[in-house]
Amino acid sequence: MDRVRPAKAGSERDRASLFADALLRLETAGVHADIDPEALERLKHPRRIVQVSIPVRMDDGYLRIFTGYRVLHDDTRGPAKGGIRFHPDVSVDEVKALALWMTFKCSVVGLPFGGGKGGVIVDPKSLSRLELERLSRGYIREIAPFIGPERDVPAPDVYTNSMIMGWMMDEYSHLNGERSPAVITGKPVSNGGSLGRDDATGRGAYLCIKELEQRRELRPEDTRVAIQGFGNAGQHVARLLHRDGYRIVAISDSQGGVMDPAGLDIPALASAKNAGLSAKSVYCLCSVHQCDLPRGQAISNAELLALDVDILIPAALENQITGDNVESVRAPVIVEVANGPTTSEADAVLDARGVLVVPDILANAGGVTVSYFEWLQSKSGDYWTLEKVHARLREIMCTEFAAVHERMEALGVSMRTAAYVHALDRLGAAISSQGTHNYFGNEQA
């Protein structure tokens, strides 16, 4: 996912309340779910929050200390699962919210995982390759006692990638005294990663849109799509939709965007953007608005969100659609490839207007699903073909999309609330199986 900053108006308020906002979704769904109150209360509190200091010797010889976090929200259904992000805006509140969302994301698609998340406060684009490797290995050294293949399994997130995951797996293996490929997912395929992991998040969202295509009888060539965020996930969902004939009329990244009502040449844009990969960096430093294309006009991220399109795909980061700008959003369908791009305040407005929001905990669950496949492969040593990965991902995403959609119609609630209710059914059963007041407080049990 590509980093796109939230609108300035209200952004400090929104970031400070990110975890509280996540709890609002939980409480809203709890009204409709058959879940014990104690189980619901358990899910409001992360099980563990770890903060670490990471000393890194920089190339100029000076020592810098970076702050990192790892949050385990819940592991009732299995080891925690969740990415590690490198960004200057990382905060413990943000990581707590992301870990909670991971718990629900894994549950909504039926994976035997709980939720975790990690992050380091750093501008990774300012680091050399050697500094980035030292930071990555240093982070793992500090959190190693809290992770493991059966405890907490990290993965890539914002500004981390397969190379960084490979360094982290290697460092943990050295500390553990044996090769431990199942401790990290999102690794290079040549180093124990899974085929199909690179485009899994975007592919999962694409499969959700294909389900909507059937239910709403969409004609791809007549369906206009705008995508905010042109990093890994945004590029892949754009590529797959473009291949099927969808009209991608606008895309953007952190520096701005480009629009063409007739439809953009997505392969050309992706090639142009990715050609900006710096020789000294593992990150692409080029922006889509810099791409030299024969057609298209420059637009801002705010303008992209307000476009008159059929499907809007926020694929950047949290708090993009807020109470401050929701009235300008005109798309009748929003598919959340980013984590938490819509605040609960904006949700209420969209729901009242009849906008269908395919929520993040379903729409972007393709990434963690293929991470689960990678975990299984790393544990067994039996590596799958790309065709098998795609087939199993399709089966899970389409099955769970149908279940959430059915729940939405049965309860008369938003698709987000339906997804949380669907997840709470599984989480509540798992927590209650360990005993609640209904069991321990009943002498006749």
| Structure tokens belonging to residue 252 | 């953007």
How far is C-alpha 270 from the geometric centre of its chain's CA atoms?
21
User: Which residues lie closer than 8 Å to 147 by C-beta, 6 or more apart?
Assistant: 70, 140, 153, 154, 172, 183
* Interstrand relation of 114-121 and 80-87 (parallel, antiparallel or unpaired): parallel
| Structure tokens belonging to residue 95 | 């990581």
Residues annotated catalytic, as ranges: 117
Return the closest-CA partner of residue 432 out of 444, 445, 416.
445
* Amino acid making up residue 186: G
| Structure tokens belonging to residue 19 | 């975890």
Return the closest-CA partner of residue 397 out of 361, 439, 346.
361
State the burial class of residue 52 (Cβ atoms within 10 Å of its Cβ: 0-12, 13-18, 19+): middle
Rounded Cα gap, residues 228 and 82, in angstroms? 23
* Amino acid making up residue 280: K
* Amino acid making up residue 405: H
| Structure tokens belonging to residue 393 | 């991902």
Other CB atoms within a 10 A radius of the CB of residue 282 amount to 18
CA–CA distances in Å: residue 220 to residues 128, 346, 372, 433: 43, 28, 31, 46
> What's 342's DSSP letter?
B
62-95 core/surface letters (b: 16 or more CB in 10 A; e: else):
eeeebebbbbbbbbbbbbbbbbbbbbeebbbebb
Rounded Cα gap, residues 262 and 264, in angstroms? 7
Q: Which spans in 217-359 are helix H?
A: 232-243, 266-274, 301-305, 344-352
* 379 phi-psi bin (left φ>0, alpha ψ -120 to 50, beta other): alpha
